[in-house]
Structures are given as structure tokens and as C-alpha cells.
Amino acid sequence: MSFFDYLSNRIQEADSLLCVGLDPHPELLPRATAEEARDFCRKLIEATADQACAFKPNSAFFEVFGAEGWTALREVIVSVPEGIPVILDAKRGDIASTGQAYSRAVFETLGADAVTLSPYLGRDSLEPFLADPERGVFLLCKTSNPGADDLQALSIEGVEPLYIRLARMASAWNTMDNLGLVVGATDPVALLQLRRAVPDMWFLAPGVGAQGGDLEAVLQAGLRQDGLGMVIPVSRGIARAEDPRVEAIRLKQMINSVRESLSESTAPVLPLNLTALADELLEAGCVRFGQFTLKSGVKSPIYIDLRLLASQPKLLARVASAYLPVLKNLGYDRLAALPYAALPIATAISLQIGRPMVYPRKEVKDYGTGSAVEGGFERGDKVVLIDDLATTGGSKFEAIERLEAAGLEVTDVVVLIDRQGGAVQDLAEAGYQLHAVFTLSQLIEHWAGAGKVSQQQADEVNEFLGIRD
């Protein structure tokens, strides 16, 4: 069982996304001692355990008391009822043997189930904490403190802020379903951006209550479509309430009320993370409506030109990112781009995930090496074919033939848009599987529903969808 399986089971059992923070601030204690901090937290646990999906003790308020505080923290964690995850808010992060020692301290000595970490030292600093799938990590991504944007919002290559890039990297690192993100509840716009960028990841979203985060806005921006994917920690709002149990019940009910209202809403045609990209493609002129003559001579009411992406680097980067959730589930050694429209797309994907790329030539050179496939590879390497569109699959077969003739193995083809002209069936009959980020009918339904194209335009395209070019 992975950590997030464990957390999900507790959420279902308690019907709660509320995480009770255990922050024994000195001003809340009768006396500033480790014993008082321990007793304060134990009372909160006893009062709220049936309402909480998890508890989150903050190690700083125990470490301040030295060795006695460390003992008190261990005793607090032990007192959490079995079956309720404990997320230690410690913000650790170091490499090599130091990281291993921190990991053992958190999981073995203290007995926590998960921990918050800093990402600054990179992937190898996380590995000791991620080695056991039953232990979880929440990685600091977009925090709610005033100086967060000094670093977290820095623009990466003029394409996206650092926190978005970090989230995409974390999603790729999350191979055992035990890595989530810390995303502050005070910035629902950033929260929505992150949910679109990493639709499946879990968020720990502190900042509701004392820090000013709006609970409803946070849930609307950050919940996954299954009503999960978020843990809402509240510490001072509960600890300072006249009756902490009553406040925990109230917060849990508020959270569930929003979850219920969102679940009753009409399901969107496209996942939340893809709606903005679909609209950007339309606004950028990559999709046009009218009367167009296709290569076959057939008249089409729609024309899709993704070659324009080569001149729009920010949009190109977002398009490349949209391929990543599909590629994550496939096994391959290299990307293989189909010339010409897919060359910039596959290059952008390669830069984002660090996988090498090759491409089959349209025309084989009769000079130099005479290579039919450009790029470094070895016979037997498995490649995933990347293209922009799929209609009938004809151009895919030509590329696959050259790749296989060079000794490469092909089983999967990934495109941005499936025009639904029969490519899925044609490729399947030959033993290949087509994967698409969008289908054309999805895009048309979304744009029509959002009022971005007329119903007449939508009807014309829907009528055309059965015609192959």
C-alpha cells in the first residue's frame, strides 16, 4: 500500500479532508515546557481524532525544548490513533548520508508517516524519504509566506514560473504514489495553475483561517475531479477556538459542503488542466473554421495547423507538457518525432523530461551517412512515435516502417489531437496503439459550450467527423 492509498482510506473512513495542525505556540501553553506542549497536543488529538484525515505536528515547537521536546514530539505521534496518518512538518532536505539520517529520524525514531521537505537540493535529496512507498513526502512548491515569490515565481526560460516547473518535475518523480506538494491556500490562482499542470498529484494546502485563505476558493481551485487530491491543514483556527472539537466539526462540514456542490456540477468536457490549453490553441490561430481543401481534395469545415507552435515558444512548452501524463504510462527508451510539425513538439518534450529523441527522415539522403533515421540509438531501442495530429494513420505507418527498418521497436503513437478519421482503428489492426491528448469532438464540444465557436460551426465539424482525408 502506498502512502496515498493509506491517506485515501482514512479520508473515506472519516469522510474528511481536514488535517488538524499540532502547533503548540508558547502563548497557548500555561508554561513553556515540553510537557505542556505534549499535553496540549494530546488534548487536541483526543478532541478531534474522529474528524481528522491526518494530524500535522510542527517539529519546531518541540525542538525548541531540546532533548525533552524531541521526546515529547515522539509521545505526541504515538498518541495519534492507529489508522490516522501523521505528517511531520519539518521542512527537511539534504543529500547523501545526511538525508538518510534525517529520513531515519522522521520515520523510524519519531514514527511519522510523512514529512514536508525542501526541494532546493534536487531529486537525490528526496530519495531517502521516497524509498519506502508507505512513507510520504510533501514537497514545498508554492508557499504562502510573504517572501515566497522571491524564488518560487521566478520565470524559467521565459516560459513558466519555477513553482510550475517544480510541480512537473515532482510529478515525474512520483513513481511510487508517495510524493505530493505543499501549496499555500492564500493564492487560489496559483493553486488552479498547479492543478492544471499536475492533475493527479496530492496537495497539502496550509493557510486557511488565520493566514486568510478562503476555504471555498481553495477547494474549487485545487480539488481533483474525484473530490480528493487535497489535505486542508488548520492549526490556530482549531487550537484557539473556544471548543476545538466544535470548530473541527464545523470546518469538516464546510469542506464537505463544497465538495458536494462541486460533485453535483456538470462534469466538464475536458479535464481542468486541459481547458486553458484548448482555448489557447484556438486563440493562437492553430484551429480555424471555414472551407478548406484537404490534400485528398475533400472540403473540410475546420483546419488545424500546429506548425504555428514553432513561433510561439510559451504555447509550445505548454503543448509539450500536455503530452507528459500520457507518456508517463508508457515504456520507451527514446522519443521519435514525425517530421515536420512534430519536430519542435518532441524537442520541447525532450527538454522537459530529459529523454533523447530521434526522427525518421522524409527523404533519405543519397550522400553522407545516408541515414533514414537521424539521432543516436541502438538496435532494439523502444521508441514512442510523437506527432501533432492523427487522421487515418497513413503518415504514421510510413514513419514506423523506417524506424523499424533501422532496428527500433515501436508500439505506441502519441498525438495532441485525434481528428477521429479512423487512425485508432487502422493502427490497432496493425498492432500499434494511438494515444491522444484531445479528440476533435472533445475540443468542439468544449469550445461550443464555452461560446468560443458557434453552434453552426460545431454542427458542421461534427457532421464532417466521419469523413477521412
Same CATH topology for 3-263 and 272-464? no
Q: Which of 231, 209, 211 shows the shortest CA–CA distance to 219?
A: 231
User: Parallel, antiparallel, or unpaired: how do β-strands 230-234 and 433-439 relate?
Assistant: unpaired
Interval 253-277 mean pLDDT: 78
Query: Any idea which of 16-20, 139-143, 155-159, 161-165 has the lowest mean pLDDT?
Result: 155-159
User: What pLDDT was estimated at residue 217?
Assistant: 84
User: What pLDDT was estimated at residue 88?
Assistant: 98
User: What pLDDT was estimated at residue 369?
Assistant: 57
Interval 239-267 mean pLDDT: 87
User: What pLDDT was estimated at residue 211?
Assistant: 63
Residue with cell 521537505: 117
What are the residues whose beta carbons fall under 8 Å from the beta carbon of 253, sequence distance 6 or more? none
CA gap 178, 129 in Å, rounded: 9
CATH classification (class only), 272-464: alpha beta
User: What pLDDT was estimated at residue 469?
Assistant: 37
**Catalytic hit among 91, 142, 362, 382:** 91
The domain segmentation of the chain, as residue ranges, is 3-263, 272-464
CA gap 328, 17 in Å, rounded: 28
User: What pLDDT was estimated at residue 216?
Assistant: 85
**Cβ atoms < 10 Å from Cβ of 373:** 20
User: What pLDDT was estimated at residue 193?
Assistant: 86
Q: Is 91 a catalytic residue?
A: yes
pLDDT in tens, 76-133: 999 999 999 999 999 999 998 999 999 999 999 999 999 999 999 999 999 999 999 9
Q: Which of 383, 391, 376, 379 shows the shortest CA–CA distance to 412?
A: 383
User: What pLDDT was estimated at residue 314?
Assistant: 86
Length of the chain: 469
- Which one has a higher pLDDT value, 149 or 114? 114
Q: What percent of the chain clears pLDDT 90, i.e. is strictly above it? A: 71
Q: What is the dihedral of CA 353, 355, 356, 359, to 10 degrees?
A: -80
pLDDT in tens, 289-316: 999 886 656 788 999 999 999 999 989 9
Residue with cell 531529486: 123
User: Whole-prediction pTM value?
Assistant: 0.63
Q: Which three cell numbers stand for residue 439?
A: 479528440
Q: How confident is the model at residue 240 (pLDDT cuts 50, 70, 90)?
A: very high
Q: Which of 139, 137, 140 shows the shortest CA–CA distance to 113?
A: 137
- Which one has a higher pLDDT value, 411 or 450? 411
Q: Backbone phi, then psi, for 35, in 5-degree steps?
A: -65, -40
User: What pLDDT was estimated at residue 364?
Assistant: 64
The strand order across the sheet containing 334-337 reads 373-374, 357-360, 334-337, 382-390, 409-418, 433-439
Residue 37 amino acid letter: A
Mean pLDDT of the chain: 91
Domain covering 3-263 in this structure, CATH number? 3.20.20.70
User: What pLDDT was estimated at residue 294?
Assistant: 67
